[in-house]
Structures are given as C-alpha cells and as structure tokens.
Amino acid sequence: MGRIIWFCVISTLLSSTFASCCPSHCSCFLDTRGRNAVECRQGGLNGTLSLDGMDASMEVLRITAPEDNLNALTMNPTIQSYKRLEEIHITRSNIPNLGTHFFWGLDKLEILNLSQNNITQPLDHNFRGLQSLKELYLDDNKIYSLPSGTFRYLINLATLSIQRNRMHELMPRVFQQLERLQVLKLSGNSLVKLNPEIFKDLKALSILECRGCALTEMDPEIYSLLPYLTHLDLGDNNISKLNSKEFKYLTDLKSLNLDGNRVSSISNSMFSQQTQLEALSLARNELSVLSPSSFTNLKNLTELDLSYNKLEHVDATLLKPIEAKLNRLILSGNHIPIGEIRDLLWRNKVLRTLEIADCGLTEITEFVLPEKLTVLVLAGNYLSTLSPEVLPNTLSQLDLSRNHFRGLSEEMMQRIDSITTLKLDSNPWTCDLCHIIPLLSRVNRTDVFSLKCASPYHYVNRLLGSLHKDQLNWCTAPSYTSSDANYYLTVDDSKIGIIAASASVALLVLIIFAVLAAFLYSKRHAAKYYTHEEKRTDERESIFENQSPLFGEELSFKFPMEASEKKVAIATIDEIKNHALSNGT
Ligand SMILES: *[C@@H]1O[C@H](CO)[C@@H](O)[C@H](O)[C@H]1NC(C)=O
Ligand SMILES: *[C@@H]1O[C@H](CO)[C@@H](O)[C@H](O)[C@H]1NC(C)=O
Ligand SMILES: *[C@@H]1O[C@H](CO)[C@@H](O)[C@H](O)[C@H]1NC(C)=O
Ligand SMILES: *[C@@H]1O[C@H](CO)[C@@H](O)[C@H](O)[C@H]1NC(C)=O
Ligand SMILES: *[C@@H]1O[C@H](CO)[C@@H](O)[C@H](O)[C@H]1NC(C)=O
Ligand SMILES: *[C@@H]1O[C@H](CO)[C@@H](O)[C@H](O)[C@H]1NC(C)=O
C-alpha cells in the first residue's frame, strides 16, 4: 500500500533494448489512439503522487479509485517532466488545492480531468503554461469561489465543466480570455442569478448548461451576448416567468431544456425565432393551457416533451404546424382525454415515439395511434384490455407496465411476438387457466419469464418462468360473474374438488376477503351523496365487463389506495364520454 511502486522490465528485442515501466497496481497499454497510457484504478493510494521511474513517453495518465477505497493524494510538480502528456485524469483522489505553476511546461496537454477531488479554490497560476488545454473538468469538487480571470492562461479552452460544486455567485470577468470556449457546464451550483457581465468574454459559446442552479429568472441581456448558443439547458431550476420574447436572440438554438421549472404559460411568440430548434422539453412544469399557436414556428422540431404538466386539454391543431418533422412526442403525466389525443395525432405518419404514461387512460380505441409508431409507452394507466388491432404494425417497443392487465389474449400475444422490447411488469397478472396461458407459452422471452403473479393467493410473487401449465387452477377470480351469489356458486361448482384437496384454508381466506371487501364496498356507498359514486360505479361495471364490483380489480389489500386511483380513472371516462357525446362520435 502507500506509494506507487514502479516495476520496470528490461526486454531485449532483436538488437534494440528498451525499458517499459509500469507501477505495481496500474496497467500500462496503448490506448485506442495508439498512445502510451498508464491507468491506476485500484485506489488506496496516499501521500504525494509518485511518478518515479515512469516512462518519459507516457501520453495519457489516469488515476482513479473505487468508491470504497478512495485515494488521498497531493499533486507532485515532477509531473512537469512528462512533456508528452496529452491527457491527465486524476479523479476520486481527494486532491486539495493545486500548487503554483503546477502544470508548467505541459505544452501538449489537451485534457485535464480533476473531478471528484477536494479542490476549493482554483487560481489562475494553477493553470499557467497549459496553452494547448482544450478541456478542463472540475466537477464534484468543493469549489466555492472562482476569482476573476481564473482561466486566463487557458486561451484555447473549448470545454469548461464545474458542475456540482459550491459556488453561489460568479465574479465579473471570471471567464476572461476564454474567447474560444464553446461548452460551459455550471449545473448543480446554487447560483440563483446569473450576471450578464460574466458572459461578455464568451463570444463563441454554443452550449450552456445550468441545471439545478436555483435560478428564478434569466436576464434577457445574457441571451443577447450569446448569439451562437445551440444548446441551452436550464432544467430543474425555479423559473416561473418567461418573457414573451425570452429567446428572441437565440436564433441558432437546436435544443432547449426547461424541464423541472414552474412555467405556467407559453406566449404565442415565445418560440417565434427558433426555426432551427430540434428538441424542446417543457416537462415537469405547471402548464395547464397551451395556445394552438404555441409552436407554430418550430418547423424543425423533432422532439417535444410536455410530460408531467397540468394539461387537461390540447387543441387538435396544436401540432399541425410542426407535424412534418415531429418524431417523438411525450405527453405522459397529463390528463388529456384519449379523444383529444386521437384528434391531436389524427393521420400522423411521421411520429415514431409516443409516450402517454400516467395519463389515466382506461381504454385505447382504434385509430388513436399514429400508424408509423415504433415506440409506444402506455405505462401507469388503467388499461385492462387492449385489442391487437390498435397497435401499429411498425411497433418495436411497447411498455404496458403498471396497468391493470390480468392476462393477455392469444391474439394480442401473436401481435406482440414481433416486438423486441416489451415491458409488462407491475400488472396484476392472474396465474390461472383463464388469464395466463398465452403469456405462459412465451416464457422463453426474458421479459415474460420475469413477470410475477399477483393472484391467486398461493402464487403471489411467483415468477411466471417458474410456473408450468399443469400447476394452474381454474379461474380463481370470477371475471365473468356479476353478483356475490353467483360467485360462490361458481366456486362450488367448478372448484369443489380442488378446494377439498387443498384444504379449506383457501376458502377461509376468500371469505375473509369477501367480508373485508363487502365492508369497504358498503363504506364507499355510504359516501355516495357527495361524490358521483353511483354513476361511477355504474360505468365502472359496464367498462369492466360486468365484473363484480366486489371481486373485480380491487380485490387486494391495497383497496383504499386503489379506490382513490380509480376516481381519477373514472373522471377520465366521464370526460371521454362527454367528449364523445359532444363530438357526436
Ligand atoms: C498512507 O497509508 C499508510 C498505510 O495505509 C499509512 O501508514 C500512512 O500513514 C498513510 N499516509 C498518509 C499521509 O496518510
Ligand atoms: C472525468 O472523471 C470523472 C470521474 O472519474 C469521470 O466520470 C468523467 O467521465 C471524466 N471525464 C472525461 C471527459 O473523461
Ligand atoms: C478537504 O480540504 C479541506 C481543506 O481545504 C480539509 O479541511 C478537509 O479535511 C479535506 N477533506 C477531506 C475529505 O480530506
Ligand atoms: C422558488 O422561488 C420562490 C419565489 O419565486 C421561492 O419562494 C421558493 O422558495 C423557491 N424554491 C426553491 C426550491 O428554490
Ligand atoms: C431546419 O434545419 C435545416 C438544417 O439546419 C435548415 O437548413 C432549415 O432551414 C431549417 N428549417 C427551417 C424551416 O428553418
Ligand atoms: C420461444 O419458443 C417459440 C416456440 O415455442 C419459438 O418459436 C421462439 O423462437 C422461441 N424464442 C426464443 C427467444 O427462444
């Protein structure tokens, strides 16, 4: 342990003799670009970084450590004698502040990665002599301040990353001399406000990231100083107001992330200059209404993320101006009625990815889904059946997880066989002969093999892959009966032999379930007068194909929670019905 011990092997090859040295717990090799690389990843190194006896031709040095065996190193000025170094990565090594003129003479150094150390305040002379440096990474240190001109000797720097440090403000002229800087990443510093002054030196900046910077607004002057910006990420901040001309100077913008803020409205002209924009994320904001012309000028948009907002309606013409290129649309986590989603995407032939997870959908009818779709996410809805005709033929990825499926039909499975990525987990799979046979015959798919039964009782959490058809019982949950009396009759008629054989324990459990469910059911009815419970229950019964309200979907210990989820679902049905009525469809 302790210092690095270097092993040198003297080899004789034909007439020439050369020495290749390698530290004891490092590896030395030619990297993919044919450079001499030294890599030490074992960790546990402490004291001054020792480079004694190291081959002078080293071009790439990489020292890091596993999470449970971090290094505790201080830098060693002798590194200056390795004049051929092009990359230095010393990470997870608890390096404290750097010394004066530390990298002096390393004219070829292009990449310096000092992430995950204990640097608190870099100073300009730390970087003196690195005139070729193109990329500097200081992520995950404890930098609390950067004096003006910190990077002024790095005249060729193109990428500067100081993410997840402890800065609260940036000094004026902190980026002095960084005229060639293209990429600036400041995410994860609680900067609250960005002073336009600091951007005056960054004439070439094209990528700016400040996620999680606790920003409440952006001074419009900043944008006027950054006309070449192509990528702007202001996600996970606290921005609530966007000026109606907020982005007017950013005419080259290709991607804009505003996800995770508190934006509640988008003015019509907000994106009027962003004809180059390809990806826009407004996910996790507070949008409740979008004007039909919100995106009119975004002719080059291929990706639009509006997920987890408060949208309850979308205008059917919202996507018309941009539908020629729109490839990926994410509407998850809103409560837009399925009829409006259909109208929004009507006859769309371009869309490839559609995500409508957590949208309270209870059914997907024909003609809703665009015909060329390859990726469809329907996770977290209330679907219990899905007809194969609904799914586009081009589909290659389908996510039906977190729904209410108890089984899938053979027709559905045949349709799904060609889908390469399938997610079916977290559904109440009912492992009996009525529901699970088509799935069970596909357990050689790993995505089916690992599904878990939710019922019957004795197969709860059993992997589908560990079940054999012969082990299945007749239908334990009465999907096809409508009254309690019939339920018991069904049990008596068809299961009498099995019950006798598997002792009366199962029956006892069923009775307890019945009593519990009946109790909760009556409680729900007692609360009818201030909700529309009656109506909902009626509709619910018709929707779930006459399943018993007692022993249908909700036969589970999670009953109270499921009931509240249901209300959302049912509200959506109401809306669908109303919508359908008003549309006369
Ligand atoms: C380095 O580690 C060795 C053994 O693990 C220990 O004896 C020594 O005190 C450590 N040195 C420093 C500077 O922490
Ligand atoms: C810098 O080091 C960190 C920590 O080891 C690593 O995650 C990151 O990918 C490195 N960056 C580059 C550009 O190599
Ligand atoms: C990081 O450096 C500070 C002084 O700059 C020191 O007090 C602290 O102990 C160091 N942290 C670790 C984990 O060594
Ligand atoms: C966001 O800003 C509001 C004021 O606009 C403030 O009250 C709130 O604490 C801020 N939230 C966070 C997480 O910074
Ligand atoms: C879309 O982008 C391409 C390439 O960047 C550009 O040539 C074209 O003008 C853009 N379309 C519009 C409508 O601006
Ligand atoms: C699974 O089994 C079916 C026939 O039972 C076969 O057609 C299919 O190729 C198998 N798939 C895999 C991934 O083994």
Q: Is 418 exposed, middle or buried (0-12, 13-18, 19+ CB in 10 A)?
A: exposed
Q: Across-strand partners of 40?
A: 63
Placement of tokens 């310096």 in the chain: 112
Please, are residues 216 and 190 in contact by the beta-carbon 8 Å criterion?
no
Tell which atom from ligand 5 comes closest to the C-alpha of 275. Answer: 14
Sorting pLDDT into bands at 50, 70 and 90, what band is 511?
low
Pocket-testing residue among 46, 48, 49, 75, ligand 1, by greatest number of atoms within 8 A of Cβ? 46
What's the CA-to-centroid distance between 16 and ligand 5, angstroms? 59
* Mean pLDDT across 169-178: 93
Pocket-testing residue among 439, 444, 445, 447, ligand 6, by greatest number of atoms within 8 A of Cβ? 444
What's the CA-to-centroid distance between 301 and ligand 5, angstroms? 10
pLDDT of residue 544 exceeding 70, the answer is no
Placement of tokens 């990329």 in the chain: 135
Atom 7 in ligand 5: residue holding the nearest Cα: 276
Number of residues written out for the chain: 585
- For residue 522 and ligand 6, the question of a CB distance below 6 A is answered with no
Sorting pLDDT into bands at 50, 70 and 90, what band is 513?
low
Give backbone dihedrals phi and psi of 251, rounded to 5 degrees, phi first.
-80, -10
Sorting pLDDT into bands at 50, 70 and 90, what band is 84?
very high
Q: Which ligand is nearest to the CA of 92?
A: 2
For 346, residues 6+ apart whose C-beta sits below 8 A from its C-beta are 316, 367
For 203, residues 6+ apart whose C-beta sits below 8 A from its C-beta are 179
Helix (H, G, I), strand (E, B) or coil at 329: strand
CA 491 to centroid of chain Cα atoms: 46
Query: Which pLDDT score, from 0 to 100, does residue 101 have?
Result: 83
Tokens describing residue 517:
């469910």
Rounded CA-CA distance 18/273 in Å is 62
Lowest mean pLDDT across 312-316, 395-399, 427-431, 464-468: 464-468
Q: What is the pLDDT of residues 323-367, one digit of tens each?
A: 999 999 999 999 999 999 999 998 888 999 999 999 999 998 877
Query: Which pLDDT score, from 0 to 100, does residue 508 have?
Result: 55
Q: Which ligand is nearest to the CA of 300?
A: 5
**Which residues have C-beta atoms less than 6 Å from ligand 3?**
94, 96, 118, 120
- For residue 582 and ligand 6, the question of a CB distance below 6 A is answered with no
Tokens describing residue 396:
């290659």
Q: What is the pLDDT of residues 45-70, one digit of tens each?
A: 888 887 776 788 899 999 999 999 99
Query: Which pLDDT score, from 0 to 100, does residue 47 have?
Result: 86
Rounded CA-CA distance 159/113 in Å is 11
Q: What does DSSP assign to residue 530?
A: G
Our CA dihedral for 78, 123, 91, 182, rounded to 10 degrees, sits at -120
Q: What does DSSP assign to residue 210?
A: -
pLDDT of residue 503 exceeding 90, the answer is no
pTM for the whole thing? 0.77
pLDDT of residue 3 exceeding 90, the answer is no
Q: Which residue has the higher pLDDT, 494 or 521?
A: 521
Tell which atom from ligand 2 comes closest to the C-alpha of 135. Answer: 13
What's the CA-to-centroid distance between 538 and ligand 6, angstroms? 43
- For residue 276 and ligand 5, the question of a CB distance below 6 A is answered with yes
How many CA within 13 A on the CB side of residue 231? Answer: 10
Sorting pLDDT into bands at 50, 70 and 90, what band is 523?
low
What's the CA-to-centroid distance between 26 and ligand 1, angstroms? 19
Atom 7 in ligand 2: residue holding the nearest Cα: 115
Query: Which pLDDT score, from 0 to 100, does residue 78 have?
Result: 84
Sorting pLDDT into bands at 50, 70 and 90, what band is 141?
very high
Atom 2 in ligand 6: residue holding the nearest Cα: 444
- For residue 115 and ligand 2, the question of a CB distance below 6 A is answered with yes
What's the CA-to-centroid distance between 44 and ligand 1, angstroms? 9
Strands 36-40 and 16-23 turn out to be: unpaired
List the alpha helices (DSSP H) in 75-155: none
* Mean pLDDT across 402-420: 92
pLDDT of residue 543 exceeding 50, the answer is no
Tell which atom from ligand 6 comes closest to the C-alpha of 441. Answer: 5
**Which residues have C-beta atoms less than 6 Å from ligand 1?**
1-2, 46-47, 72
Rounded CA-CA distance 504/142 in Å is 65
Rounded CA-CA distance 404/429 in Å is 8
What's the CA-to-centroid distance between 45 and ligand 1, angstroms? 9
Rounded CA-CA distance 309/289 in Å is 10
Q: What is the pLDDT of residues 291-326, one digit of tens each?
A: 999 999 999 999 999 999 999 999 999 999 999 999
Atom 4 in ligand 1: residue holding the nearest Cα: 2
Tokens describing residue 323:
């539908």
Q: Mean pLDDT over all residues of the chain?
A: 81
Rounded CA-CA distance 214/6 in Å is 47
Tell which atom from ligand 6 comes closest to the C-alpha of 445. Answer: 13
pLDDT of residue 581 exceeding 90, the answer is no
Q: Is 194 exposed, middle or buried (0-12, 13-18, 19+ CB in 10 A)?
A: buried
Tell which atom from ligand 6 comes closest to the C-alpha of 444. Answer: 1
Lowest mean pLDDT across 76-80, 146-150, 205-209, 261-265: 76-80
- Cα distance from N-terminal residue to C-terminal residue, the chain: 77
Q: Which ligand is nearest to the CA of 322?
A: 5
Query: Which pLDDT score, from 0 to 100, does residue 521 have?
Result: 59
Please, are residues 40 and 7 in contact by the beta-carbon 8 Å criterion?
no
3-state secondary structure 347-416: CCCCCCEEECCCCCCCCCCCCCCCCCCCEEECCCCCCCCCCHHHCCCCCCEEECCCCCCCCCCHHHHHHH
Lowest mean pLDDT across 106-110, 120-124, 468-472, 493-497: 493-497
Strands 375-377 and 353-355 turn out to be: parallel
Tokens describing residue 179:
């005229």
What's the CA-to-centroid distance between 277 and ligand 5, angstroms? 9
Q: For the chain, give the percent of residues with pLDDT over 70.
A: 77
Please, are residues 428 and 457 in contact by the beta-carbon 8 Å criterion?
no
Between the alpha carbon of residue 293 and those of residues 122, 183, 269, 319, the distances in Å are: 48, 32, 8, 9
Sorting pLDDT into bands at 50, 70 and 90, what band is 235?
very high
pLDDT of residue 133 exceeding 80, the answer is yes
Listing DSSP states for 170-204 in one string gives --TTTTTT-TT--EEE-TTS---S--GGGGTT-TT
Please, are residues 192 and 168 in contact by the beta-carbon 8 Å criterion?
yes
Atom 8 in ligand 5: residue holding the nearest Cα: 276
Atom 4 in ligand 6: residue holding the nearest Cα: 442
What number of other Cβ atoms are within 10 A of residue 288's Cβ? 13
Our CA dihedral for 554, 558, 560, 562, rounded to 10 degrees, sits at -60
- For residue 121 and ligand 4, the question of a CB distance below 6 A is answered with no
Tell which atom from ligand 3 comes closest to the C-alpha of 120. Answer: 5
* Mean pLDDT across 485-501: 39
pLDDT of residue 554 exceeding 70, the answer is no
Tell which atom from ligand 3 comes closest to the C-alpha of 142. Answer: 1
